[in-house]
Amino acid sequence: MTAVGAGRIASAVHAYEVARELASEFATGAADRDRDRALPHGEIDRLAASGLLAITVPADLGGADLPPSAVAEVVRILAAADPNIAQIPHSHFVYVNLLRLAGSEDQRRRYLGQVLGGARIANAQSERTGATVAEIATTVRPDAGRFRVDGVKYYCTGSLFADVLAVLARLDDPDGVSGLAAGEYIAYLPAETPGVRIVDDWNGIGQRTTGSGTVSFDGVVVGADQLVPRSLAVRAPTGYGAFAQLLHAAIDAGIARGALTAATEFVRTKSRPWFEAEVERAVDDPLLIQRFGELAVTLTAAESALTAAGAAVDRAVTPGTEIPAPSDGPADPVAAASLAVAAAKILSDRAATEISAALFEVSGTRSAAADLNLHHFWRNARTHTLHDPIRWKYHHLGRALLHDTPPPLHGVI
Is the confidence at residue 320, as pLDDT, over 90? no
Predicted pLDDT at 382: 98
Q: Is the confidence at residue 322, as pLDDT, over 80?
A: no
pLDDT digits (tens, 9 = 90+) for 162-220: 999 999 999 999 999 999 999 999 999 999 999 999 999 999 999 999 999 999 999 99
What does the alpha-carbon distance between residue 117 and residue 113 come to, in Å, rounded to a whole number? 7
Report the pLDDT averaged over residues 292-306: 98
Among 145-149, 320-324, 355-359, the least confident range: 320-324
Q: What is the mean pLDDT of the chain?
A: 96
Q: Which of 77, 90, 88 is closest to 19 using CA atoms? A: 77
Q: Check: CB of residue 187 under 8 Å from CB of residue 196.
A: no
122 pairs with which residues across the strands? 165
- Given a contact cutoff of 8 angstroms between Cβ atoms, the answer to whether 198 and 156 are in contact is yes
Check whether 411 has a pLDDT greater than 60.
Answer: yes
Q: Which of 104, 21, 105, 91 is nearest to 56 (CA)?
A: 91
pLDDT band at 331 (very low <50, low <70, confident <90, very high): confident
Residue 215 β-bridge partners: 153, 198
CA dihedral for 56, 214, 38, 1, sign (positive or negative): positive
All structural domains of the chain, each given as residue ranges with its CATH number in brackets, are 12-120 (1.10.540.10), 139-229 (2.40.110.10), 236-403 (1.20.140.10)
Residue 228: beta bridge partners? 186
H-type alpha helices, 88-188: 90-102, 105-116
Mean pLDDT throughout 111-117? Answer: 97
DSSP code per residue over 213-266: EEEEEEEEEE-GGGEEETHHHHSSSSSHHHHHHHHHHHHHHHHHHHHHHHHHHH
pLDDT range class, residue 330, cuts 50, 70, 90: confident
pTM score above 0.85: yes
Q: What per-residue confidence (pLDDT) applies to 3?
A: 44
CA 364 to chain CA centroid, nearest Å: 32
171: helix, coil or strand? strand
- φ and ψ at residue 323, rounded to 5 degrees: -75, 120
Distance of CA 329 to the CA centre of its chain: 26
Please give the pLDDT value at position 1.
45
Local confidence band at 321 (pLDDT 50, 70, 90 cut-offs): low
pLDDT at 319: 65
Give dist(CA 122, CA 138) in Å, integer: 17
CA–CA distances in Å: residue 21 to residues 4, 25, 119, 298: 20, 7, 21, 26
Residue 53 has pLDDT above 50, yes or no: yes
Lowest mean pLDDT among 245-249, 325-329, 334-338, 371-375: 325-329
Cα 274 to the chain's mean position, in Å? 40
CA distance 94 to 122: 9
Percentage of the chain beyond pLDDT 90 is 94
pLDDT in tens, 340-391: 999 999 999 999 999 999 999 999 999 999 999 999 999 999 999 999 999 9
d(CA 286, CA 186): 55
Between CA 116 and CA 93 the distance in angstroms is 12
- Give the pLDDT of residue 5: 56
DSSP string, 332-401: SHHHHHHHHHHHHHHHHHHHHHHHHHHHHHHH-GGGG-GGG-TTHHHHHHHHHTTSS-HHHHHHHHHHHH
